[in-house]
Structure 1
Amino acid sequence: MAKLLNTSEIKACDASVKNKWNDAWPQKVVTVQLRQDNVDIKIGDHIKKIDVPGKAVCELCHDVINYGQKGVTSLLEYLFSASLVKVDSQAIFDEVDKFFTKHEIPWENLMSILMDSCNVMRGSKTGFETRVRESRAGHLLDIDGDSCHHIHNASKYFCRQFDRHVEGLHTTIFNDFKWSVDLRDMLKEICLILNIKYTMPDNMVLKALTSLDPTVKYHSKCATLLRKLPELVTNVLIDDKTDGYNAEVIKYHVDKALPATEKADGSRVRCDHYWAAVDKIKYPSLCKMVKALLSCFHGPQVESSFSNMGYTMDSKSNRMDIRTFSAIETVRYGQKATGKKSAAEIYEKGDVLHDIVDSTLCRKMRFAAKRHREAMEEEANAREEKRRRLDVAKSVVKSKKAHKEEEAKRASRSLKKHRENILRKLVERRKGKAKKARK
């Protein structure tokens, strides 16, 4: 157990501490109001230094106080702090009530409480402030400085009526500029040059795409947003006239013979399934635009393709051609679309001997094999043509055994040559010594 130190031992104990114990700290006085009088309490009356660097102990509750970082401020704050094992409104109220009773502080002196706006502190039924107001201090002023939580709660209540559409829009805009760092930096630079304030722009493309939802086809904003699509996506209706597209939008907006937006069981029809049922002869330009927009590759499929690459390509197939990998992934995504796990399940036959052979599958397999042979022959001819043009002899691939035998022979010749050099140097050295001896 730590022991109390005297003045001579304190300096050696706190040699490595940032804020060392000062002999003036125990004499520091804290003023506390008890009843109608102000009472001065010395820190040294309750807090003593122990033989641990940067630590002191309270003689009343035997808690250890760390003063190494904040110095005497830690000691002053400790006189008005309490540690709780279970933190709820009742435990906090009991601890504060105990403090007021212990120091004989009348509750009439408490005018207001400033705290966080969480339910534990400001709950209307069992919060700490409610307990104090009901049982101890009914005269409390209603003062709350936690404006951040109030703004959050007000915004949440306001947006609740829009079924999370407001939150979804802001989340989408945030993600666009979070992952498009180059776009955000370019926009900031333009705003800096023009001397205007930089703010997150509104994504008009995402707003216009909401008009493709079948449930808003008769909404007043639907036709307006659909007419803006050719201006935002300029690479779809290149040869088509915009006037014809606008006429189709108006006709679509008032057409009462459009496909249903709900199924028989009450569930909503998928957006792509709905537009697949729309009359393409009646709305050619509109369907062309919608098809281009709905075919945009989105969602987690992009990231999952990189994950699938780890399953397909490993250390043994790290030189796989991109066309081969693309073919494998096409087959894999086709299996996912059918909901079956293997090609055997997709083309399974009930009776192997008597069921009709799938002629289309056989024709595609023969065609794929033919294309593969032709591609291999073209690559081989291209390599031969390049070797002939560069006048490079065709290299003969050796086996591992032949390489090992060649390496062994090379090492044997090198060792033999090394021994001959050593022997020659020894002979020359002896001849030199013999000549010196004769002289």
Structure 2
Amino acid sequence: MLKILSMLVCYYHADLRKVIVEHLGSLEIVKVNAASLEKVLCEFFEKNNIPWNNLVSMLMDSCAVMRGSKTGLEIRMHQYCPNLLDIDGDSCHHIHNAAKKFSEPFDSYLEKLFSDLQVDHQWSPDQVMYLKEIAMILNLPASSPQRGFVPHRWLSAYDASMATYAMMPAYRVLYYGFLSTADKELYREPLELMYTKYHVNQAGRARIKVVQEELNRKVTNEEEYVLCFTGMTPQGRERKKRVCQKLWHEETTTVLRLSIYMGLLAILKEYVMVFQGSQTLVHKLHDRQLELFLAFMACFVKAEHITQALREMVLEDHMLLPSKEVYVGQEADTFRSQNPNHALLVPFLADVRKAYITTAVYLQKKLPLASPTLTALSALDPLLRGHSQATIQLKRLSGMLRHLLPADQDIQRELVRFNVDLTIPSFKEGESIVEWWGHVFDKPDKYPSLSAMVKCCLSIFHGPRVESSFSLMNEVIEQRSGNMNVPTFNAIQTVKYTLQSRGKTAVQLFRREDVKFGEVDRTLCKNINSAAATYKRQQKMNQKEKQQQQSKYGSQASGSAQQAKKQTAEEEKRARLRHVAKQRKRAMETLVVQAKKKK
């Protein structure tokens, strides 16, 4: 099977005064291994007369073919470019894999629920409609389960957890209709309590009952039921049973696991959100990874045992917090304090501890917490200028990139001058690091070597930018264009990235030369105006219909699902910070007591 190797290149564009990403090339690959990739890359560089010395670093995922410690592609590339900077693999991939590690002790309990909910609603538009109607009656911001868990992106479990937790009451009301007669009797009182909690009036309750009856038709045997959907498969019936099991029979287990996911995975998600964007943040890699690891460890390790030697730290039982103090998320913490002897609590906390330890070991192994390269790159931060460590680290960085710097210039003298140069403006909050370094680049006579070095460093890939090329690839190669040859695809990708890097749109590209006297397409203008009018009219009708329903069921306008998610995330973050502060205070008290005993 033919495969495509896509290569992106990142560099500082002097005319645009920014770091841009362009498509270098797409190549046909028949057999994927390190040797074949090495051969293809060498042929490409030779054909296009690209000097190997121009290569500063390579960013790939951490599979054995790409970054194997003995025969991986990156190791092979060192024979052509011995000064290649080692910035490790894509750290965002490491974080996604860490989320996967964390979920392993829970046997993908929630992930299976997310997938079942997603599949159950994906091909049932009427069920989605009923779900949103129930959410409106309960005054909940509705979100669709179709935008839930993505198996190859494990941190999507965080987003799915937030959405599922927010919609949990609506899901429970909806799937109550699929319960057997005996189970309906068993859970009738909790359902009534839910109605009372969410202030559902009689009209709303009557409508919900109609919805439940439309979704399910009971038969004589109370242990079985027949769904009214025509063509419902046995797999569909089993899927609904699994969902009902987790929403009603195992509600406590589901909520506890949602709580730990929402609380803990937020730490990992925050890191990925920083580096998956298009901003140049290579100077933040080391600090952010260190902050991430410390924040993660503080959730289950005693503060006094979290030392600076994080890479060599070995976790032992006496270093871990007791089960009643481990961070488990806001909802689970409330349950733990109110039900300290609950039967489900012990196995849950055991799984949480196992998840913490295995994930910490993985992060400790995969994150380059002691990388001298990333430490040196941190000195690019404009806020460090004026500190002696900035000069020291920039000197180390210049040693790593000596082959790219002018041989007749003394970069150490430039660094000393740069650190105290009053003509360089201070870094302003919100300013791009590339824009700030542009002030230094404007002084080529004063800082020739420093400018060359920094331009190389700012061009280092540090996020999953290659993933975006896959998205563009899916837009180009689809079912109707499956036979497109690779050179054509290569040309399309090159054009797309060129337009993207220069900030051009299709409208800008095809705009009229003479805006005032150029020919106007009257038909196009008419269609645009009529389309806008139709859209606005439909929006007003939808809004009016929604207001009528809210008035009928006595519900109020709820905020957006995004706002609700943001509020929940902020509450979880505050709870986590309170936990860390509490443990730090206890650690200080312990150290004070130990110091007094020594005296």
Which band: TM-score by shorter chain? Answer: 0.3 to 0.5
Which protein is richer in helix relative to its size? 2
TM-score by length of 2: 0.26
Name the TM-score, length of structure 1 as normaliser.
Answer: 0.35
* Structure showing greater Rg: 1
